[in-house]
Amino acid sequence: MKALFKTTLLSALGAMARFTAVTYSSCNNDKCKAIVCAFGGTCNDGVCTCPTGYEGPQCEKVMRDKFLGVYQVLEKGTLSETAQYTVSVEPGTEISDLRIKNFRNIFIEEVTGYVRSDSIFIPEQIVDERWEVQGMGVIQADKYYGNNGRLVLRYRVRDLDLSETAPADDFGLQSGEPSIWNKTP
């Protein structure tokens, strides 16, 4: 009787130990249990996968926000002289979209673009029914604004009033030097 009781007790204790170990290890393997991903992000193996337009460990940052602001531009195109002027980068209608006001210091309408990670893309577009524009740029670190202070933009502009085959004024997209945009305080 003592032997049967002892065997039953040891079996029960062994079963409880296995159940506790399985429960404990399965709780520890759920790496997403304590993670909340913002803006519809999903957690996979402890890491948030963010929807388009969001970034950060928990998708808590709007990607385009680092591009927003006023910039002092310094540039020289392949057809134009050195110019210095101010542009404003503002949010567009969609979460990844941007509007650039006073682009090239001559456009009346806004130039539109979108953001992916640390890059801005300006798809080919006609501005003011005269200018064909396209380009791309990357954001770089700067001594005052850290990782969000300088934008190096490579683009080209063609004056359609001259002709559709007229040479483009290039700012580092295919030739020439890129346009440097420094964020102002």
What phi, psi does 129 have (nearest 5°)?
55, 25
Residues 59 and 81 sit within 8 Å (Cβ to Cβ): no
> What is the tens place of the pLDDT at every residue in 29-57?
588 998 999 999 999 999 999 999 999 99
> What is the tens place of the pLDDT at every residue in 119-172?
999 999 999 999 999 999 999 876 766 666 899 999 999 999 987 788 999 999
For residue 163, the model assigns a pLDDT of 79
**Three-class secondary structure assignment of 52-120:** CCEECCCCCEEHHHHHCEEEEEEECCCCCCCEEEEEEEEECCCCCEEEEECHHHCCCCCEEEEEECCEE
- Single pTM value for the model: 0.78
**Structural domains of the chain ordered from first start:** 2-61 (2.10.25.10), 68-183 (2.40.128)
- Helical segments of the chain, H only: 2-29
How many CA within 13 A on the CB side of residue 182? 10
Percent of the chain beyond pLDDT 70?
81
